[in-house]
Every structure is written in structure tokens, then in C-alpha cells.
């Protein structure tokens, strides 16, 4: 990927910076981007460990039309996938690269839109008992989807928002309007709930990782980071597998891009740098 980046930086055939107020300039810019995306896809296919597993037919064209016809609207990207597939890790890489290159990106975690279930947890004693009595936290009913949708509509129109904050300490407490999020050019929305409102997104990305690798990650995280005993962690893993088959797996074929959640993160960071280069490297 570094080869492509260097080629772009050292090219003598750069595009003049387009005037995005003119439709003709936007159309020319989109043709340029389409060529660069094809170059990226071809390079990835031939790489040692490709990260792009598939791209929906017609996606590049439909996204191009969106850029031409509605250039001022913020770009909303939904990143979803099964538990322990690598969503948060990939988003951390995006955050780190964004800081390094000063990219106009904000990231929202849909985990903060879980409903407040503190009353139910008190009633059943703890979250595990609540789960064992049939509470399905990963279902659409487990999220504040109306608030999430309203927040995304607001931020896509350029308004800064305050998202809820769900406390991951077993209490089930959700604090309303607790996390400030700026409306930047690109808004990334990460988490399971992105699957339930994806009609709002310009790009839907699904992170796919094989079940064995996901189980290894989940159990390691549960035991070392959350102080769960192995027996309970395995029990919760069984819940996650069933919830995934019910809510997550069916959506994979309707996403725009499927990425390998077990890919080289350094390589993924280079892809982000390449995207930054092609969208900012114009004739002076």
C-alpha cells in the first residue's frame, strides 16, 4: 500500500482541486475517485492478506451519485458485525489514524444506546440472572433506537449532539445526553445497533471473522478485562452465538463492504492513509 501512496504523492499528473459548488466539478472528481477506488480494490485482492472480502455490486456507482447530488450532507458510515469480530479494534485504528492525519472524523458507539436496565438488574440480582431469565440485550428492543436515529439525523445535518452513555460496569445504567460528539465531515457509527437503522448510512460495512477466532477473543476479554469466571464467560458466549444468528448474520448480504476482522491493522491504517492522500493530493 505504501507503493500506491508514494505514487500519488510523487505523481506529476494530479487533479486540480475541484470546486465542489459546481456539479460538473463534482462529477469530474467522482470519476477520479472511482478510478482510485478500483486501483485500491485491485491492489488489495493481490496483497498477501486482503482486508476487503467483498464489495456490493453497484455500491461505487450509488455512492458516487450521492456525492454528486448531495455534497453538503455529512457522510455516515455504519460499521457492524458479530461480537468480537474486530469492530472496536478497527474503529480504534480509524481513531488513531484520524488523530495522526487530522481527519474530519467523529466516531459514535451504538453500545451507548443500550436501554437503561438498572431496575431489571436490581430485580434479578445481576445481569447474568437477567440474561438467564430471557432478557435479550442484543435485540432491537434492547436499544434506544428512536434516540439513535434522531441523533444521526441531527449530526448528518451539521448539528453537534450529546449521545447517551451506557455504563459497562454491570449496573445497566444509561446516562442521557452525556457524551458530546462534533458533526464532522465523516461520522462513523460502530456497533450492533447500526444494523437496525442502516437506511440512514451512506456506507454499510460489515466486519467478518471466523467463529473460532471470535470465541478466543471473547473469552480472553471476558476473563482478563471483565473478571468473569470461565464458566460464565462460556455461558454468555453461547448466548452471543445464538443472538448473532438471529440478529446479525442475516444482514451480512445487504451490506456494502465486508472486511476481514482478522486482518493486519498496520495494513488497514495504510489504506486509510491512501484514502486521505487521494482526497487531498491536488495540484497547487
Q: How far lies 158's CA from each of 7, 59, 102, 206, 280, in Å?
A: 35, 25, 19, 26, 22
| Calpha distance 93→48 (Å, rounded) | 20
Q: How far lies 188's CA from each of 88, 149, 198, in Å?
A: 11, 14, 12
Mean pLDDT computed over 153-162: 96
pTM of the model: 0.92
What integer pLDDT is reported at residue 284 of this predicted model? Answer: 67
Stated as kind and residue range, the H or E segment containing 13 is: none
| Calpha distance 183→152 (Å, rounded) | 10
Cell of 130: 437477567
pLDDT tens profile 200-225: 999 999 999 999 999 999 998 887 77
Mean pLDDT computed over 243-268: 90
Domain 52-262 has CATH 3.60.140.10: no
Asked if residue 17 has pLDDT above 90, the reply is no
What integer pLDDT is reported at residue 153 of this predicted model? Answer: 95
What integer pLDDT is reported at residue 30 of this predicted model? Answer: 93
* Alpha carbon of residue 25 to chain centroid: 29
| Calpha distance 231→234 (Å, rounded) | 5
Mean pLDDT computed over 221-235: 80
**Which part of the chain has CATH 3.40.50.300?**
52-262
pLDDT band at 161 (very low <50, low <70, confident <90, very high): very high
Amino acid at each position: 500500500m505504501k507503493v500506491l501512496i508514494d505514487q500519488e504523492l510523487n505523481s506529476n499528473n494530479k487533479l486540480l482541486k475541484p470546486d465542489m459548488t459546481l456539479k460538473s466539478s463534482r462529477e469530474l472528481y467522482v470519476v477520479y475517485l472511482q478510478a482510485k477506488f478500483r486501483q485500491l480494490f485491485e491492489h488489495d485482492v493481490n496483497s498477501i492478506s486482503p482486508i476487503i472480502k467483498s464489495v456490493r455490486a453497484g455500491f461505487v456507482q450509488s455512492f458516487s451519485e450521492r456525492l454528486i447530488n448531495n455534497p453538503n450532507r455529512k457522510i455516515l458510515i455504519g460499521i457492524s458485525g458479530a461480537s468480537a469480530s474486530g469492530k472496536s479494534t478497527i474503529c480504534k485504528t480509524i481513531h488513531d489514524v484520524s488523530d495522526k492525519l487530522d481527519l474530519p472524523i467523529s466516531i459514535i458507539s451504538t453500545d451507548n444506546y443500550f436501554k437503561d436496565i438498572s431496575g431489571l438488574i436490581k430485580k434479578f440480582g445481576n445481569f447474568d440472572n437477567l440474561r438467564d431469565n430471557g432478557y435479550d440485550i442484543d435485540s432491537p428492543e434492547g436499544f434506544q433506537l428512536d434516540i439513535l436515529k434522531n441523533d444521526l439525523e441531527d449530526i448528518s445535518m451539521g448539528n453537534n449532539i450529546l449521545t447517551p452513555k451506557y455504563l459497562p460496569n454491570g449496573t445497566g445504567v444509561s446516562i442521557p445526553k452525556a457524551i458530546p460528539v462534533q458533526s464532522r465531515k465523516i461520522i462513523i457509527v460502530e456497533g450492533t445497533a447500526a444494523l437496525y437503522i442502516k437506511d440512514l448510512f451512506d456506507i454499510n460495512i460489515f466486519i467478518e471473522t471466523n467463529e473460532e477466532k471470535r470465541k478466543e477473543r471473547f473469552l480472553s476479554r471476558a476473563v482478563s478485562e471483565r473478571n468473569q469466571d470461565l464458566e460464565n464467560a462460556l455461558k454468555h458466549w453461547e448466548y452471543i452465538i445464538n443472538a448473532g444468528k438471529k440478529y446479525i448474520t442475516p444482514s451480512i448480504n445487504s451490506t456494502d463492504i465486508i472486511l476481514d476482522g482478522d486482518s493486519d491493522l498496520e495494513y488497514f491504517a495504510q489504506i486509510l492513509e491512501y484514502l486521505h492522500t487521494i482526497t487531498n493530493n491536488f495540484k497547487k
